[in-house]
Structure 1
């Protein structure tokens, strides 16, 4: 069945993980463009504050307190959207948690909890959305993966594994719905490093505080990609050319990419600050912030991400970046194999 998404000012959008970071940026931008928004998170105080702020700006908003890893909570989100706005048109599965540390050091219960949120939260949300869209004539499911849906890196390997699972589920769901002829658009968004409070919210098994590996993009760049997907049928969007280069290196020169990531990522993801204990793995932490506290939001524009909104322009750019990434991996691996430092290639 043919389906064309509505314009944003005609939509109600459900956003999980809406109390901080990418989810909060998306909610604010969606409201600014006229959409009604249902914000979903575990932290009710933060949700109340954000909704009050958005209502003062004329926004049509509601919130639902939910743990997306609990299916009954997700069903409650649907009921909130039905009660407040009569339903919804786009569902964004953004809620996620992280764990920094070596895989052998991560307790199984933490690993399971991460998957309960990052993977099962996407499954529960996607199923709830599709069931709703089958009764309303169509809608959009947007799942937030990562460039780590395509390759893993040390210290975030459990997170990468969950994002691989999100990609597999999203791609499979898209194909099944296409076979069925269902009026549902399914998009995977794959951000590069983003300047959100993610490192502060993540469980940390390192000796120092973590940081997002550079280069870092602002959450508004991801929000723009999400809202483009809400209004256009698009398979996937990678946010940030740097991420596309790393994916290209991992695909075209996997062995060399392994060597480089094994060498570089343990260094660039750690700060010199002693480890702090607060995180949001099992319970919500302080929310309401879009940005990381110490270094700001990051790059506020990505030419590559903007180009993906114009399919004819992006094909050549994607191939070029993939080849560039593979070439960089080769040069880095050769330099390291000769005992040298990465020099300017570290950027």
Structure 2
């Protein structure tokens, strides 16, 4: 603050996850996840909001499609992201009621090619992975930058995430029955490498991308369309249709020769 005179954009993006059934996860692992994902966002937002009330600007919190969906074997992660959504929505409403010149955006990424699975605390018997389709981290960065310049209430990053949320809202009971398949989608064939992950201490620092065993999308047509001010329903539908085609015919990751 003393060096730069303040800020007009604040982003809360810290996040960790734990893989495994709720009944097996140690209390201290639950607590650490909630402290990071929820309280890190709450504390950062409240501090930033005090400054932004005076000079105006954008507050951007990174949630997840897990803000709208539950995921078996990532129960406390989904819990924390649901809480981030509730907090972000409440803070937005209170700032509006005050007439504060602050925009509040919740960015909700789907599966993103980062080292999140490798850094997770893992109680499963296999290496964790992310459900397809998987998107590059640059798509999240683009959404955050867009929200800083052109405020939006919510931004889904990845049409696959939006499709999952729509499916759950349309048929919640059917989504619940997909639990075994969702669990299977989070397991790789390899045995465990580092079950402790980076939940309690830094590990595997410096990497931007992960090592998913499947193809990573180059962009998200759906997200690009929603960020464009002239996007039409037809363009959005086309983006979702392309996403559905990818989900139904997921390509394996190309081998390097």
Is TM-score (shorter-chain normalized) higher than 0.5?
A: yes
Structure 2 counterpart of 1:176, from 72, 85, 94: 94
Contact 1:249 1:323 survives alignment (8 Å)? no
Question: Per-residue CA shift, 1:98-134, capped at 9, x if unaligned?
Answer: 0000011111121111010000000001001101112
Distance in 2 of aligned mates of 1:233 and 1:125: 19
Shift of 1:265: 1.2
Q: Pairwise mapping of residues 98-137 of structure 1 onto structure 2 (< 5 A)?
A: 98-135=17-54, 137=55
Q: What is the 5 A alignment of 1:245-324?
A: 245-260=163-178, 262-275=179-192, 276-293=194-211, 295=213, 298-313=216-231
4+ residue runs over 4 A deviation: 294-297, 314-325, 344-347
Q: Which residue of the partner structure matches residue 11 of structure 2?
A: 92
Secondary structure of the 1:187 match is strand
CA RMSD of aligned residues (A): 2.4
Unaligned runs of 5+ residues in structure 1 are 1-81, 329-343
Calculate the TM-score normalised by the size of structure 2: 0.89
Q: Aligned partners of 2:50 and 2:234: how far apart in 1?
A: 37
User: 5+ unaligned residues in a row in structure 2: which ranges?
Assistant: 251-257
2:222–2:239 contact (8 Å) kept in structure 1: no
Deviation, 1:310, is 2.5
CA positional deviation for 1:345: 4.3
The whole-number CA distance in structure 2 between the counterparts of 1:222 and 1:251 is 24
Distance 2:82 2:67 in 1: 4
SS at match of 1:85: coil
Look up the SS of the partner of 1:247 in the other structure: helix
3-state secondary structure, aligned to 2:59: strand
Q: How many Å apart are 1:322 and its aligned residue?
A: 8.4
**Range with bigger deviation, 86-95 or 302-311:** 302-311
C-alpha contact 2:159 2:240 (8 A) present in aligned 1? no
Is this contact kept in 2: 1:146–1:191, CA < 8 A?
yes
Gap change, CA 1:248 and 1:311, over 3 Å in 2: farther
Structure of larger gyration radius? 1
**Shift of the alpha carbon at 1:283?**
1.5
Aligned length: 247
| CA offsets 1:308-328 (integer angstroms, 9 cap, x no match) | 112552556667888999xx9
What's the TM-score, normalizing by structure 1? 0.67
Aligned to 1:228: 146
